Amino acid sequence: MCHLSVNINKLATIRNARGGDNPDLIRWAEMIQSYGAQGITIHPRPDERHIRRSDVVELKEVVHTEFNIEGFPSEDFMEMVLRIQPEQVTLVPDPPHVLTSNAGWDVISRHGELKPVIDRLREAGIRSSIFMDTDLEQMVALSQVKPDRVELYTQDYAEGYAKDREAARAPYVEAAKLAKEMGMGVNAGHDLDLSNLRYLYEGIPFLEEVSIGHALICDALLYGMDNTVKLYLRELR
């Protein structure tokens, strides 16, 4: 079964809109895990517009499933994750000002900066994952940096699903198969929801993890968090 990691950035955004501690991020992380999620994902950005650095420290104490920290591998980010020791670090190419992750890595031109980062994570016993589009030339270039996993950036799949779901999924299946042949695990994330998740998983049955935040939190407003986590888990069975 593919694991569900719930990205709780959106809960932090709601909290920060009013200040204080409501919703209580730490309590929600505990509850989301109790509802069956196999991981908690966060993406602490330099401006702390959602996840704060203090959250990262506190979450480490309560995340007993997989703790996945996403981010751009600046030196201060690397110092943080090496100190916190999450189970997985997902490297994204986001500059500080972007609203949300919107592209995979250009490994061909940036492998020189990525390889030392991945080596540092491996030496620390932290699983590395790298955010990637489905460009097969870029996927082949991963042989130069050797991450443990790739996370396929699924926005194009989500946007194309309603028009032609088979055509939308095809490049992801091909990229996932190539990654698997190269010895890497495969994760996926971005704009996955209850309507399109199962079809992607059916095409990539060896998918190890999906990271879902925005859609899941929105669905929780309708169905409640406990029920929503279970609905997403059902799509992955």
111 is catalytic: no
181 is catalytic: no
44's CB contacts (< 8 A; 6+ apart) are 51, 52, 53, 55, 56, 69, 71, 77, 80
> Which is the catalytic residue, given 66, 70, 209, 235?
70
Neighbours of 28 (CB within 10 A): 20
70 is catalytic: yes
> Which is the catalytic residue, given 3, 50, 66, 190?
190
Neighbours of 194 (CB within 10 A): 16
Q: Nearest-CA neighbor of 84 among 117, 49, 59?
A: 59
> Which is the catalytic residue, given 43, 50, 66, 151?
43
CA distance 107 to 184: 15
Q: Nearest-CA neighbor of 214 among 189, 188, 186?
A: 189
DSSP string, 12-42: HHHHHHH-TTSS-HHHHHHHHHHTT-SEEEE
Residues designated catalytic: 43, 70, 190
